[in-house]
Chain A
Amino acid sequence: MAMRPIFSALMRNKAGLALIVVQVAITLAVICNSLFIVLERSTRVGRPSGMDETGTFTIDSLGFAADYDVRDTIHADLARLRALPGVIDATSTNTTPLTNGGWSTGVTTEPGRGVDSSGVQPAAMYFMDEHGLDAFGVRLVEGRAFQAGDVREFNQNTRIQSSVAILTQALADVLFPDGGAVGRQIYGIANDNQPVTVIGIVERLQVPWVGWTDVEQSVLVPAIQIDGNFSRYLVRAEPGQRDALMPQVEKALQDGHSGRLVRRMRSIEEARTRVYRQDHAMMSILGGTMVAMLVITGLGIVGLTSFWVTRRMKQIGTRRALGALRGDIRSYFQTENALMIGFGILLGALLTYGFNAWLMQNFNTARLPWPYLPMGALAMAVLGQLAVLGPASRAASVTPALATRTA
């Protein structure tokens, strides 16, 4: 199909052309950037925490009775929980992934680097006892798990006393790029100058804060915090037993000591849902916006092309009378549409990267990877061709006899 005459005819219908071009350009910019954000969020939401999310849950205990002894209660509670049928294991802990709350530290391979931030790797600290790895359901890939003798109790006065730790693979890789982390010493767990020996590496255990850049960098510390009257337990149930087990655990703890509140029992799955709620909402909103933009643009193309077909009925009849096949008429409108969408894509490319630059500056988003633009352009071209199909077919069905009818 001849482009030049179609192009010159389009140039004489600038208002309609501009309408579609601007609409396509804006849609392309919104679609590309929204899709990028949605996929980025989707990846973030879908990444594994490293623990057994389906079988685990946490529950908090806060003693209020005058005779409440947190150390004794923790040990009694853990024994009681581990004895429950359907429990794989249980541990005392400070936090879990997907909660956006926990302890962080800076880990180094040399002492005294705390004041000098170079070489310090940010990491989350998970406290647990010798049952911790099983309770979390993390996979040990190197070294050994904690033993009872590794576990130290601590409070605000004593600080962390542990002398061994387990690293996530990501943290081990960044601290010891050449490998061989097990058996080496790190600093920053107990204090900046006290060495802690790495005894093992787990495949993955994400930090509690889902927005962290170094989300895979965690250190597992064999410690039980004996502070105030608060304790938190992580319980891992046999597959399929979690929901049935949760009320039993709650009752067992309540029965174990009446001078306390047992609260905030929450599965890790629920924690995931809660922590990513905003991301899901944003994905839904952006997804809806994308669909709406595509529908509006598609309808805009259908509307304008239908209007042009109606306005050009006589012209179409004349073209048919002069020898145009039905296919020629159809392809005329398809080519015209492709040209309009092409202009829209050119303008849209500028808008897309302009919009991305604005998002980067104001919302700290990443740079849009280049494949999004050709993919978006292809989507717009397909949308355009689909939208023009109906009006173009209507135009192709115009009878050539229309040419001899008076307007």
Chain B
Amino acid sequence: MTQVKKMKSIQGKTGIGFRKDFAEEFLNENILQPNFIEVAPENWIDMGGYWKRIFDKVTEQYPLTCHGLSLSIGSPDELDWDFLKKLKVFLKQYKVKIYSEHLSYAKCDNAHLYDLLPIPFRDDAVNHIIERIKTVQDFLEQKIAIENVSYYTAVAAEMDEPTFISNIVNGADCNLLLDVNNVYVNAFNHKYDAKEFIKKLPLDKVAYIHMAGHLQVEEDLIIDTHGKNIIDPVFDLFDYTTRLIKPVPVLLERDFNFPEFNELQGELNRLQKICNNVWTPQHAATN
């Protein structure tokens, strides 16, 4: 199974974020069957011992995508070249074709924060980030995908979010990781129409989709927790989105509060069904 599975394309297929929390169960049981897995490279680079063995085992069985946390593409700080060098080795070693990062910053004033802070939607930030993405892409010798993040306050914004994202993605000639749940969360938090928002994005650049659950913490605020099941309106928004773009890999993010594998597989199945409904005929026709 393993080698054949790894050779298959993951376009139009569903995968899951691989977590240490369920690693052993995942490898020992056959209940959860994603088409690929995703990890944060920061959590595995420099790792040895037990976890290295687990990681090598799972990456022998599944195609791997990487979703970074610490590149801090929107940071005022210099790029971390030591980290980038290690990242490049890691991506090559595990033959990672999709490497994505957040359109946010996680380091400032030479201090890591380990979370995703919102960038001011401004022209100078756009130009700054374009240059950084180009630099990173040149160095890694591959395109990266940039994710629209959820945010809980705009920060000194001088343009709207879709303009900010589009200008960066087009200017840097990078890919877009479209997090559909984040669009839903932001539409709720910042009171805009999610579908209209999606239509304004550079949809020809979408190379990857993320789906997740969230938590409403205040009457007027949702936090993107990855700790609950995907809700129906986000599935609906996903269905809407798939009709606007070419087939891409779709990832289910679940970071804690894990349900039984059957339940996770149920979510993957539901996502895959939508993918198949929308993409399979078109995909077959174009190949």
User: Are A and B physically bound partners?
Assistant: no
Interface residues of B (CB under 8 A from A): none
Interface residues of A (CB under 8 A from B): none
